Chain A
Amino acid sequence: MSHQGVKRFLRKKNAVIGATIVIMVCFIAVFAPLLSPYHYAHGDLNDALLGIGEDSRYLLGTDHCGRDMLSRVLFGARISLLVGIIAQLANTVIGGTLGIVGGFYGRVWDDIIMFVTNVTLSIPVLIFALALMALLGPGLHNLFIALGITNWCGTCRLARSKTLSVKEENYVEAAQAIGCSNLRMLFKHILPNSIMPIIVIGTLGIGDAILIAASLGFLGLGAQPPLPEWGSMLSTGRNYFFNAPWLSILPGVAILVTVLGFNLLGDGLRDLIDPHTKKLTK
């Protein structure tokens, strides 16, 4: 990003708010053990179900096992960030590779890849991920896989259309004329010139990945207790919904803030590289 670009980014209030939230959440995730008063699995049954502010030792109250909610929410940032980022990395690599290959080689390759994309696209991501989690079994690692191989269609389409337009550029024609190999053209010209939008759509997808992971956790098919995954915390909180609503409120707020941060940041980045959408949303 050039100096100009940084300036333009900073002028966008939303993007700056988003970036701040994301940096904060990352900070919390990295330093969770230092920031939390307790370990996320440490609980004392004598202190079970204390409300917010009811006991000075537990700022945000405790859950049914007497575990400190503040610590659990802070540690939860680790899981959600990890899931969002790893899943989106995988999706970006899969979608980007397929899209660029399809766009560059065209013909049968393109047809096959577009067919696979359209078929995958017709199965909603949450449903596909649900089925895969049923196959793989619940757990954090399986969550990475289930989310990392289902949500790449948007990236693939974007990478393909970007590749198609870059392919028409003069410098690609010139490279072809001097006898560049296909691989060299792919890595020296096509990839560097189409990578930015792919990265941006990847960032925009992190929020969705976190939401889907939370939904799976809520259904009992995501990360398993005692891991403090926000979605599964919500699902446990539901059992104490009427007596201890904070167990359901807090993880939800955490999800909302985190996803909001990524969405604002992604929107800002998209405006930065795509003047057309900037015009539309102004």
Chain B
Amino acid sequence: MLTFIIRRFLAFIPTIIAVTFIIFVVLNLLPGDAAFVRAAGFKRGVANIEGIAQLREQWGLNDPAYVRYFRFLGGLLRGDLGTSYRTDEVLSDVIKERLPVTLKLAGISILLAVVGGLTFGFLAAIHRGSIIDLVCMVTAIVGVSVPEFWVGLMLMLVVAVKWGLLPTSGYSSGNILFLILPSLALGFRYIGLIARITRSSMLDVASQDYVRTAKAKGLSLFSVRGKHIFRNALVPILTIVGLESGWLFANTVVIEEVFGLPGIGRLLVVSILGRDIPSMQAAILIMVLAFLILNLAIDVGYGFLDPRIRY
């Protein structure tokens, strides 16, 4: 097990390096001169040449691209993400401040999706062909067809504005109420997806030999469903959570925009609009890392759920 984790972790390294390379190339080809934009901002619209030259020197923009790339990589190794072109903030501090917001948002969404999806899928599989089954299937197909930000806006309109139950937007770190609507909007797609996969894999597992054996030796219905069917059906569910988490992390960008949450996604949008390359690099890199780490965790999780899977 441990060797598997270590091996998987080592396999990460070339991927991460390649990702940093792609991000660096794409973002450093950006048109427009960041130093010019910044200097122009200082002098109320008039950029003076010394100011620009000084900023270019300070940010190391005069060095050739490969030097800048290796400096970027070297910084990453020391946990140094650089400083923002726009605000001069140290980016590792900015990320430290914003990451919890995004992680909470994504975490609550996944939790809601897993709990909701499992419940609906479980009920749908037991009451096959019933109204619950139909609702579950419709939710599943609507969930993957609807834009998250629109679900967010509609939830805001009905729950926050019409009923006045929850705050419309904003964030305060101690108050979980601000995250409920965003998480529901972000998790909606996965509730349907997980319900659908739970249902079909439960029906699939129910026809396996070991389930028949369990029934034949006289285990109660509860025990058969809970221990045998449910546990085995978790494997494909875990797979879907891993595969789709990229979509989920990416969509925190839109959801944070809708609800005004100060997370990584918001940082990305603001820095794109402000041509702030170091901030963009940091935000994208953190998202890719989160996605890769979650998938590694899921690969490890397989072994615990299904003893037949060995590495």
Contacts and interface: CB of A to CB of B under 8 A. Distances in A.
Interface of A: 14, 115, 118-127, 130-132, 134-135, 137, 207, 211, 214-215, 218-221, 231, 234, 238, 241-242, 245, 248-249, 252, 255-256, 259-260, 263-264, 267, 280-282
Interface string B232-274: 0000000000000011011101100110000000001100110
10 contacts: A120-B22, A127-B268, A131-B26, A131-B27, A132-B26, A215-B251, A219-B253, A256-B145, A259-B145, A260-B145
Given A215-B251, A259-B146, 10 more contacts: A122-B288, A122-B291, A123-B19, A127-B253, A127-B284, A127-B288, A221-B272, A242-B161, A260-B142, A267-B141
B249 A123 contact: no
Given A122-B15, A249-B154, A281-B200, A135 B161 contact: no
Contact of A280 (B204, B258, B272): B204
Contact of A122 (B19, B150, B247, B257): B19
A175 to B, nearest CB: 36
Contact of A134 (B27, B150, B246): B27
Interface residues of B, number: 49
A126 B250 contact: yes
A218 B141 contact: no
Contact of B31 (A119, A137, A219, A245): A137
Given A122-B19, A123-B22, A259-B145, A135 B287 contact: no
B23 interface: yes
A207 B26 contact: no
A111 to B, nearest CB: 11
Contact of A126 (B15, B141, B253, B280): B253
B257 A131 contact: no
A134 B23 CA distance: 12
A241 B204 CA distance: 46
A248 B153 CA distance: 8
Contacts of A221: 272
A152 to B, nearest CB: 15
B131 interface: no
A125 to B, nearest CB: 7
Contacts of A263: 141, 144-145
